[in-house]
Structure 1
Amino acid sequence: MIEYVPIAAIDPEQVEHLLDRAFGADRHNRTAYRIRDGMAAIPELSFAAVEDGAMLGTIQCWPIRFAGDDGVDVPMVQLGPVAVDPARQQGGIGRALTAHALAAAEAAGLADVITLIGDPEYYQRFFGFDASRTAAWRVPGPVERHRLLARGPKVPEGAGMLGPRITAIA
């Protein structure tokens, strides 16, 4: 049976190895990494899927912010990466990890604005993310606009930049 445990219970080297296998060793150059540069994952929203002592997948969430061109500063959570051992993909582990992280965000009061870069059909169908309010957002690197997704009641619609959140989570 698969268990979902805090990612803090997993050896960080195991997590990094899985991320390399799932996304490639050059993953640190991706825009999602640049958005959260220098931030530590939010422990209470980051999990691993484990079965019989073997790690099958991970999800991490990060404190970021939207710096609006109008001066509005919006604390946000960036979801991802969601990584599943390539031998166990297509079995629902990634979806379960995402649901687990989103439920934890709700319970912690951190679900007002969650964003990610990912497959719009998948994340809209299962989790209600879309790109309807992100068109004017800027990010520190290339992005396919339709893959910059968000959900939550406080998603800003104006122009602004995504980047690391400087202040701690209250």
Structure 2
Amino acid sequence: MNAVSIGPLRAAKPADVDSLLDRVFGADRRRRTAYRIRDGMTAIDDLSFAAFDRGGALVGSLQCWPAALDGEVPVILVGPVAVEPALQREGIGRAMMDRMIAAADYLGSDPLVLIGDPEYYGRFFGFESHWTREWTVPGPVERRRLLARVPEGITLPAEGHLGPRR
């Protein structure tokens, strides 16, 4: 991994985060299902992180959002996880995920949910799709990519609609 430091996302300028997200996911990213799931929510400060290079430039961001199943069962939506395209595959995203999961475990957070590659997020972080098979979301999603990481001793409903926590 390049020499980067991981810190709270609040240390990054919001305009820099938006610019990074546009470079990584495209300017039309706001139409994605994940944006609908977290519509109107504010990112969770204690679980949102940024990666900065030696010069202090933002090279990665990870945001977490309050969400809920059927408006009642609290979960945390993870993402987007973004890394500067030229620096992808250097461990920056993984380092931010490790930091976020450590913080979530320390804080005793609600279950974590994300839309992403099941092989990657399963292998490295323990996310699984068996929790989410019958869930609905406010938009299109490839079923196998809707994943959850559930703390020991907690169970989630087999069915429900995932959306913003109100």
TM-score range, shorter chain: over 0.9
Any gaps of 5 or more consecutive residues in structure 2?
Answer: none
- Within the candidate set 49, 55, 58, 1:55 is matched to 58
Could you tell me whether the CA contact under 8 Å between 1:60 and 1:82 is conserved in 2? yes
Instruction: Extract unaligned runs of 5+ from structure 1.
Output: none
CA distance in 1, matches of 2:35, 2:57: 26
1:1-170, aligned counterparts within 5 Å? 1-52=3-54, 53-67=56-70, 73-110=72-109, 112-153=110-151, 154-166=154-166
Aligned Cα root-mean-square deviation (Å)? 1.1
**SS at the partner of 1:116?**
strand
Secondary structure of the 2:98 match is: helix
Alpha-carbon offset, residue 157 of structure 1: 3.7
Q: Distance in 2 between matches of 1:45 and 1:124?
A: 19
**Paired residue total:** 161
Tell whether the 8 Å contact from 1:61 to 1:78 is kept in structure 2 after alignment. yes
CA-CA distance at 1:77 after TM superposition: 0.4
Aligned counterparts of 1:23 and 1:122: Cα–Cα separation in 2: 18
- 1: CA distance, partners of 2:116 / 2:133: 15
Offset, 1:155:
4.3
Per the TM alignment, residue 158 of structure 1 is displaced from its structure 2 partner at its CA by 1.8
* 1:51 positional shift: 1.5
Paired AA for residue 78 in structure 2:
L
